[in-house]
Amino acid sequence: MQETQDQTPLWQQLQGAATLLLAVRDGRSMTAELERVPPHLRPGVQALGFHALRWLGRAEALRQQLASRPPPPEADALLCVALALASEVDDSLYTEYTLVDQAVEAAKNSEETRHQASFINGCLRRFLRERDAMLAICERKPQAVWNHPQWWVDRVRKDHPDVWQTILVANNSRAPLTLRVNTRQTTQVDYLQTLQDNGIEAAPVGDHGIILGSPRAVTRLPGYAEGHFSVQDAGAQLAAPLLLNGLQASIQPRLRLLDACAAPGGKTAHLLELADADVIALDIDAERCTRVQKNLDRLQLQAQIMVADAGLPDAWWDGQLFDGILLDAPCTASGIVRRHPDVRWLRRPTDIAQLAAQQTRLLEALWPLLRVGGRLLYCTCSVFRAEGEQQIQTFLMHHTDAQLRPSPGHLLPQSKTAGPVFPDNLLRDYDGFYYAVLEKRAA
């Protein structure tokens, strides 16, 4: 784990991380729960919470060895957070003594766990005595080895039999902080120089991206207020160029584009940075649309933002066909668990079919809104084939006016294995996505 700047007592951070784990076990997003954490505690709590969720499978397997019956939920969450830390000796910031002491202190300072302090103390000390034997037992349990639910492991193995282990390992790595340069304001080369002048290690990635050598507070980076960059994974930065490729040369003077599920607005902004276009940014969530507007304002970009269901065009469409449509469809988010480690524990196997049905509905509703010769980019941040390759194969079978153009297909999550930054701008560290470019032909 990387050390945070938070100097608050470790026991308070452990309490906060346990609260995050409780929320996830209750089916709530960790991102939303983090907003409830006091700002001075948030960095440390987030770091510990991310770590606990990345290694939750092993932590739960250890707890099962230490207690035949789980303790009350609050105590169980605190114990699992501590076990996730204690089982990563080489990666821990804390000595064994400090961790046990602060976990017990956290238990004593909460009404819900006060009576479990001795139990937590005994479990942690027993684990430290029997660490090797207990970890060896964990190696026989797939959920403890891969730190994903068993159904998730099985699904990835079925969908990607040759690389399933690589995917699961990448999911447990820490995602880098990757920026996308706003080419309306600066260039990749110039902004890299700005970072270098400020003593910040960074390297180019892709055509518009920059990957930082270590995480930093985004709002404190040079040029943030001026809109010189956005935060966006290198894999996500492929979306706008994929849609625009081939469109700009054939349409003059301005493209008419739709970003159908736009929030939080990263891809909308990238379209506006790369093309002279009239863009409608659509999202069903009014609060998220407000966030799109704020992001565009900072970047000094303009789009028509609408609150509506993209799958019900009769309620919002003016009848004018689009040159290009970007459909970043709702999905399981199975490709971005590096950044959202709670996703794997929140999802259920039935979610895949439900979301695939929603993706089909959106594709069917938006395809008629595209002009002949126009392009629709279908993308999801998923590694599951039901939300990618299988979805598009089915669509093509039922739409003879759709032609699949050269597309990346399933872009599987990758993590760098050595060095703080890359020596070139190849995409070697990115989340998982699926991309398909569909061109509309005359019927």
Active-site amino acid positions: 381
One-letter amino acid for residue 30 of the chain: M
SS (H, E, C) 147-212: CCCHHHHHHHHHHCCCCHHHHHHHHCCCCCCEEEECCCCCCHHHHHHHHHHCCCCEEEECCCEEEE
Q: How far apart are CA 150 and CA 164, in angstroms?
A: 13
- Phi first, then psi: what are they for 325, rounded to 5°? -130, 130
Q: How far apart are CA 371 and CA 373, in angstroms?
A: 6
- Sheet strands side by side (includes 209-212): 202-205, 209-212, 178-181, 229-231
Q: How far apart are CA 21 and CA 26, in angstroms?
A: 9
Q: How far apart are CA 97 and CA 403, in angstroms?
A: 62
DSSP 433: E
C-beta of residue 420 within 8 angstroms of C-beta of residue 201: yes
Write 302-307 long-range contacts (CB < 8 A, 24+). Answer: 302/272, 303/259, 303/268, 303/272, 303/279, 304/278, 304/279, 304/280, 305/262, 305/280, 305/281, 306/280, 306/281, 306/282, 307/283
Return the H-helix or E-strand segment holding 322.
Answer: strand 322-328
Supply the angle between the helices 10-25 and 96-108 in degrees, to the nearest 10.
70
| Tokens 């392009």 -> residue | 375
DSSP character string of 18-37: HHHHHHHHTT--HHHHHTTS
100: helix, strand or coil: helix
Contacts of 283 (CB under 8 A, 6+ apart): 261, 262, 263, 289, 292, 305, 306, 307, 308
DSSP 323: E
